[in-house]
Amino acid sequence: MSAIEPPLALLAELTHRCPLRCSYCSNPTELTRAREELTTAEWARVFREAAALGCLQLHLSGGEPTARRDIVEITAAAREAGLYSNLITSGVLLNAALMARLVKAGLDHVQLSVQDADEAGAERIGGMRGAQAKKREAAALVRASGLPLTLNAVVHRQNLHNLSALIDIALDWGAQRLEVAHVQYYGWALANRDALLPTRAQLDVATRIVDEARLKHRGRLVIDYVVPDYHAARPKACMGGWGRRFLAVSPAGEVLPCHAAKSITGMVFPNIRDTSLEAAWTGSDAFNAFRGTDWMPKPCQGCEHAERDWGGCRCQAFALTGDAAKTDPACALSPDHGLLAAAVAEAGETRFRYREFS
Amino acid sequence: MTPKFAPGVRLHEDKARARWIVMAPERMFIPDETALEVLRLVDGARDEAAIVTLLAEKFAAPAEEIGADVGEMLRDLIAKGALRE
Ligand code: SF4
Ligand code: SF4
């Protein structure tokens, strides 16, 4: 195998605590308790080691990162380590005083999540009353602070019809960037897949809306949008390749190749409390298991796309086939590709029948 | 004109890869040598003329020549969203 490249970005999952209860949340069902969470000093150490290892970007995430009382100190530690920090927040705990302290601590960017465009829908999906108004306030606070704002909307069958309205919200709230992300199906979301998976027709409409909005708002709003796996012929490069660009640290200190990697049962991950970040990145079995192309099965082995998509998503391969070392079924060349088509047909059919009889 | 970095944008030394990099929300780019010389002098207080003077001294080159290059470079960085006037 060629030399191991240094990582570019670190996702710090500061806590699993969160006032919201999204049905597609990627946190594991076994949530880490507050007293098991890494301390401020431990996070500072992780940030220093990440920067020394080559990380440039840091995503402060959760759960809800601002649920930690030391979020300002953590942000300051990130700046001190020389990392570019991005706060990924639901915004519901943000207030003017906290915003000011975060800016002073050196925060670089805020990414605010929205669950839906209409208030009732958003509060049903997120499971918290009054959340939408708080988010609107949070967006105003970020804007007033002078920091750039990205809005992140997770879309699925239940809210995709509101995509135009979500784009309007992004403009109205003053975001420079809108990320439209499709639900990833493992864990909770996999259990709810039939209710969440969009139909092909819904997707075609969504793609058209995004294309039109990109043109119309050029120079004002950047829209990130990727066609979801279940409707694509090629998988996405998981995190730019397992152990290649990205690493995550969980609230209790586990070092993960992706935030969802713990969904692969049986895999053992190094913990920052027992080892250095560098040892975890370069020397651990977990990171080396799917690094590069040597581990690949057919049809990935020797495939011309192998170094472009790296065989797709390991968590998705595991969720759908029970084997993390298989080709991602999102790939049309995978012998398991039929699993996705079947899921789409089923979800689409339910909807179609519903329409027929309604 | 007094250029300054756009919100959320900063110049950062990428020590692990021995290069400088412009960090921005959800993206980064590697400035070429000329852009890097200019960006290192952008502090929100120095105006274009001051930047030109410093670079002319550093490279022992006529200010008029440097001035044209710097002006173009600044406009390009503004168009990229890295700088503001
Ligand atoms: S076979 Fe593997 S490498 Fe080739 S396109 Fe499919 S997932 Fe990618
Ligand atoms: S393995 Fe899959 S779930 Fe995990 S990060 Fe990669 S793409 Fe995502």
Domains, chain B, with CATH or none: 4-80 (1.10.10.1150)
- Judging contacts by C-beta atoms under 8 Å, the chain A residues touching residue B13 are 82
Q: Is the pLDDT of residue A67 over 50?
A: yes
Q: Is the pLDDT of residue A351 over 50?
A: no
Position A236 scores a pLDDT of 82
- pLDDT category at A347 given cuts 50, 70, 90 is low
- Judging contacts by C-beta atoms under 8 Å, the chain A residues touching residue B11 are none
Helix (H) or strand (E) holding B72: helix B63-79
**Separation in Å, CA of B56 to nearest CA in chain A:** 31
For residue A328, give both structure tokens.
């991602």
Percent of chain A with pLDDT over 90: 57
Cα–Cα distances in angstroms (integers) from residue A251 to residues A52, A81, A116, A205, in the given order: 21, 19, 27, 39
- Judging contacts by C-beta atoms under 8 Å, the chain B residues touching residue A219 are none
B62 touches A at CB < 8 Å: no
User: Counting ligands in written order, which one lies closest to the CA of residue A310?
Assistant: 1
3-state secondary structure of A300: coil
For residue A149, give both structure tokens.
């704002």
Higher pLDDT, A229 or A76: A76
What are all long-range contacts of B70-75, with beta carbons under 8 Å and residues at least 24 apart?
A: B70/B38, B73/B34, B73/B35, B73/B38, B74/B1, B74/B3, B74/B38, B74/B48
B23 touches A at CB < 8 Å: yes
ipTM reported for the complex, 2 dp: 0.83
Position A27 scores a pLDDT of 66
Mean model confidence pLDDT for chain B: 90
Q: Is the pLDDT of residue A353 over 50?
A: no
Q: Give A252-270 pLDDT, tens digit per residue.
A: 999 999 988 988 989 999 9
**Separation in Å, CA of B58 to nearest CA in chain A:** 28
Mean model confidence pLDDT for chain A: 87
- pLDDT category at A341 given cuts 50, 70, 90 is confident
What is the pLDDT averaged over residues A46-68?
94
- pLDDT category at A357 given cuts 50, 70, 90 is very low
B79 touches A at CB < 8 Å: no
What is the pLDDT averaged over residues B33-57?
92
